[in-house]
C-alpha cells in the first residue's frame, strides 16, 4: 500500500514534467499547425496531470488487479471532474492527450512488470521518464527555432505583428501569398546573385582544398621523410589558429594588393583555412587502407603516383566525399571573411548578403527568416542525403566549430 502511494507521487511528479512538454509539443505539432490558435494555456497543466493519473491508475488496476489502487483512482477521478467542469477543453486535445497517456502507460507497464527491475523500481521508472522527457526536450529545443524560422517566413507582415505567438502554417494562403517572402527576397534583394556567388566560392573551395590536401595527406600517411612527425602534429595546431587573428593582416595585405573586394580573395582564404582539417581527415583514412594493396602494386612496377590514382583514391571515395561535404559546409556557412572582405553587393555571398541586406529594422522580419531558410535548406538537404558519410567524417576529423 505505501509502495503504491509512493509510486503515485513519483508518477505524478514525472507526469507533470511530461505533460507540460507533451502539451507544448502536441500543441505545436498537431493542433496549432491546423487550427491557427494558441490552445495551450499553462493553467491547464494540472488538469492534464490529473487526467494522466486517472488513466494511469485505471489501466494499472485493469492489468494488475490490485484493488488498493482504486482509492487513489477515485480521488483523481473526483479532482479531474472538478477541473473538467471549470475549464474548457478542446476535443482535439483530449484525443491527443488520452492517446499519449495510453502509449505512455503501456511503455511504463513494460518496465513495471519486468522482473529483474523490481529491486530498483523507482530508479528505473525515474530514469525511463527522464529519458523520454529528455528526448522530447532535446527534440523541442532543436526543432522549435527551425520551425519558427520556417513558419515566420511564410506569414504576411500583418499576421506576424498581430500575433507573434501564432505557430500555424498558413495553409489557406494562395500559392503566391504562401511564398511571397521568398519571391520578395529573390526579386528585391538580389538573393539569387548571392546564392550564385556562394555556390561558386564553395565549389572552388572544395576543389582547391582537395587538390592540395590529397597529395599532402598521402605523403603524411604513407611516405617516410624527415620531419614527417613534425608536420603531422602541427596540422591540428594550425587548425586552432583563430580566424580573427588572420583577418586583420589579411585585410591589410589584400587591400594593398588590391584584391580584397572580390570573390577571388575568398577563394584563396577558404581553401587555406580548410586544408589542414581536410588533410587531417584524409590522412586518417589513408592510414586505414591496407598497405599490402599498394605494396603489391609497387612491386609490380606501378609508380607512386599510379598507386595513388589507381588504388588509394578509388578506395577512399567515401572519405573524399565526406571531406568535400564538410569543406563545402564550412565555405557555405562562413561569415567572418566574407563580412570583412566584401564591399560590393555584386560579390556578396549569402551570409554577407543576409547580414547587410536583410538584417535591418526596416526590412520585415519574414524576409530575414525567408533568407535564413534559403541558406539553411541546401545545407540540411546535403546533410540528410549524406549523413552517414558526414557523421563518420565529423568524428574522424575532430571538427572545427
Partner 1 sequence: MFNLNKESKLAYTMLIPTISIVFLIILFPIFGNFWLSFKEVKLGDLRAPQPIIKEKLKTKDIEPGDDILIEYRFKNSSQKKPIFNIEITDKISEFISPVEIAEGCSVNNNLLSCYFEEWKPKYNEKIIFKFKANDNFEIDNFNPKESKPRGVADADNILTNLKFSIKNFQKILQKNETIENIKVTFLYSLFATIGALLLGISAALLLEKNFLGKGFFRGLFLFPFVSPVIAVAFTWVYILDPFKGFLNNYLLNNEFISEPIFFLGLKKVDFFGFDFPFTLFIVILFESWRYFPLAFLFILARLQAIPKDLYEASDIDGATRIQQFFYITLPQLLGVISLLFILRFIWNFNKFEDIFLLTGGNAGTRTLTVQVYDEAFALSNMGTASSVAVLIFILLAIFVFIHQKIAPKDIEE
Q: How far is the CB of 156 from partner 1 (least distance, A)?
A: 14
Cα dihedral: 225, 226, 227, 232 (round 10): 20
The residue (of 17 and 231) whose beta carbon lies closer to partner 1 is 231
Take residue 75 and report the three cell numbers written for it: 480521488
Cβ atoms of 20 and 45 within 8 Å: the answer is yes
Within 10 Å of residue 350's Cβ, how many Cβ atoms?
26
Q: CA 320, CA 313: separation in Å to the nearest integer?
A: 8
Q: Which stretch binds partner 1 (CB under 8 A): 44-52, 65-73, 241-249, 309-317?
A: 241-249
Instruction: Name the region of 217 (left: φ>0; alpha: ψ -120 to 50; beta: rest).
Output: alpha
In whole angstroms, the minimum distance from the beta carbon of 371 to partner 1 comes to 8
| List 86, 244, 292, 301, residue binding partner 1 (CB under 8 A) | 244
Asked whether 336 and 243 are in contact (CB, 8 A), the reply is yes
Residue 363 interacts with partner 1 (CB under 8 A): yes or no: no
Give the footprint of partner 1 on residues 31-50 (CB under 8 A). Answer: 38, 41-42
Angle at 352 between CA 348 and CA 355, to 5 degrees: 135
For position 149 contacting partner 1 by CB under 8 A, the verdict is yes
The answer to the question of residue 146 lying near partner 1 (CB under 8 A) is yes
139 binding partner 1? (CB under 8 A): yes
Closest CA to 21 of 133, 145, 143: 133
The span from the CA of 168 to the CA of 154, in Å, is: 10
DSSP 216-257: HHHHHHH---TTHHHHHHHHHHHHTS-HHHHHHHHHHHHHHH
Give the CB-side neighbour count of residue 162, counting CA atoms within 13 A: 9
Q: Which helix (H) or strand (E) holds 143?
A: helix 121-154
Are 374 and 195 a contacting pair, CB within 8 Å? yes
Q: At closest approach, how far in Å is the CB of 35 from partner 1?
A: 16
State the nearest-atom distance from the C-beta of 373 to partner 1, in Å. Answer: 8
Q: Which of 65, 176, 256, 344 binds partner 1 (CB under 8 A)?
A: 256
Judged by beta carbon, residue 62 or residue 299, the one nearer partner 1 is 299
Closest distance of CB 401 from partner 1, Å: 5
Of 71 and 355, CB closest to partner 1: 355
For residue 83, the 8-state DSSP code is H
Q: Which of 236, 289, 315, 321 binds partner 1 (CB under 8 A)?
A: 236
The answer to the question of residue 343 lying near partner 1 (CB under 8 A) is: no
Q: Which lies closer to partner 1 via its Cβ, residue 123 or residue 346?
A: 123
Nearest distance, CB of residue 174 and partner 1, angstroms:
25
Q: Which of 107, 248, 293, 309 binds partner 1 (CB under 8 A)?
A: 248
Site for partner 1 in 113-132 (CB under 8 A): 119-120, 123-124, 127, 131
Please choose, out of 44-52, 185-193, 309-317, 371-379, the segment that lies near partner 1 by the rule CB under 8 A: 371-379
Number of residues interacting with partner 1: please give it, by CB under 8 A.
Answer: 103
Contact letters for partner 1, residues 306-325 (x by CB under 8 A): --------------------
Give me the least distance between CB of 289 and partner 1, in Å please.
Answer: 15
Q: Which is nearer to partner 1, 178 or 335 (CB)?
A: 335
Q: How many helices (H) and strands (E) does the chain have?
A: 21, 0
Site string for partner 1, 196-235 (x = CB under 8 A): ----------------xx-xx-xxx--xxxx-xx-xxx-x
SS (H, E, C) 33-63: HHHCCCCCCHHHHHHHHHHHHHHHHHHHHHH
DSSP 155: S
3-state secondary structure of 88: coil
Among the residue ranges 53-61, 83-91, 172-180, 364-372, the one whose residues contact partner 1 (CB under 8 A): 364-372
**Using CA atoms, how far apart are residues 196 and 206, in angstroms rounded to an integer?**
15
Give the one residue of 134, 187, 188, 296 binding partner 1; rule: CB under 8 A: 134
Amino acid at each position: 500500500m505505501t509502495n503504491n502511494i509512493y509510486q503515485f507521487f513519483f508518477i505524478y511528479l514525472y507526469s507533470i514534467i511530461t505533460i507540460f512538454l507533451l502539451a507544448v509539443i502536441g500543441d505545436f505539432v498537431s493542433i496549432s499547425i491546423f487550427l491557427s490558435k494558441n490552445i495551450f494555456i499553462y493553467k491547464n497543466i494540472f488538469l492534464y496531470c490529473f487526467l494522466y493519473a486517472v488513466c494511469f491508475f485505471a489501466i494499472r488496476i485493469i492489468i494488475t488487479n490490485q484493488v488498493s489502487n482504486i482509492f487513489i483512482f477515485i480521488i483523481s477521478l473526483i479532482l479531474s471532474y472538478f477541473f473538467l467542469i471549470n475549464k474548457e477543453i478542446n476535443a482535439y486535445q483530449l484525443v491527443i492527450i488520452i492517446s499519449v497517456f495510453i502509449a505512455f502507460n503501456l511503455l511504463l507497464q513494460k518496465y513495471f512488470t519486468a522482473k529483474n527491475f523490481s529491486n530498483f523500481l523507482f530508479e528505473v521508472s525515474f530514469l525511463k521518464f527522464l529519458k523520454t522527457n529528455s528526448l522530447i526536450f532535446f527534440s523541442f529545443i532543436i526543432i522549435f527555432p527551425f520551425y519558427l524560422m520556417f513558419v515566420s517566413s511564410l506569414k504576411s507582415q500583418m499576421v506576424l505583428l498581430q500575433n507573434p505567438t501564432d505557430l500555424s502554417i498558413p495553409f489557406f494562403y494562395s500559392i503566391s501569398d504562401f511564398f511571397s517572402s521568398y519571391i520578395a527576397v529573390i526579386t528585391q534583394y538580389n538573393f539569387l546573385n548571392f546564392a550564385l556567388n556562394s555556390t561558386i566560392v564553395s565549389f572552388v573551395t572544395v576543389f582547391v582544398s582537395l587538390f592540395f590536401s590529397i597529395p599532402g595527406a598521402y605523403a603524411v600517411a604513407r611516405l617516410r621523410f624527415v620531419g614527417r612527425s613534425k608536420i603531422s602534429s602541427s596540422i591540428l595546431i594550425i587548425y586552432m589558429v583563430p580566424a580573427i587573428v588572420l583577418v586583420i593582416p589579411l585585410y591589410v595585405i589584400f587591400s594593398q594588393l588590391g584584391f580584397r573586394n572580390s570573390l577571388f580573395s575568398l577563394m584563396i582564404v577558404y581553401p587555406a583555412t580548410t586544408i589542414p582539417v581536410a588533410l587531417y581527415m584524409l590522412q586518417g583514412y589513408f592510414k586505414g587502407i591496407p598497405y599490402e594493396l599498394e605494396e603489391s602494386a609497387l612491386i609490380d612496377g606501378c609508380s607512386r603516383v599510379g598507386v595513388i590514382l589507381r588504388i588509394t583514391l578509388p578506395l577512399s571515395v567515401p572519405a573524399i566525399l565526406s571531406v568535400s561535404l564538410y569543406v563545402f559546409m564550412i565555405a557555405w556557412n562562413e561569415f567572418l571573411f566574407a563580412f570583412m572582405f566584401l564591399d560590393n553587393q555584386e560579390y556578396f555571398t549569402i551570409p554577407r548578403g543576409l547580414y547587410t541586406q536583410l538584417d535591418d529594422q526596416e526590412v520585415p522580419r519574414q524576409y530575414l527568416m525567408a533568407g535564413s531558410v534559403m541558406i539553411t535548406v541546401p545545407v540540411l538537404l546535403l546533410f540528410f542525403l549524406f549523413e552517414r558519410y558526414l557523421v563518420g567524417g565529423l568524428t574522424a576529423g575532430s571538427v572545427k566549430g
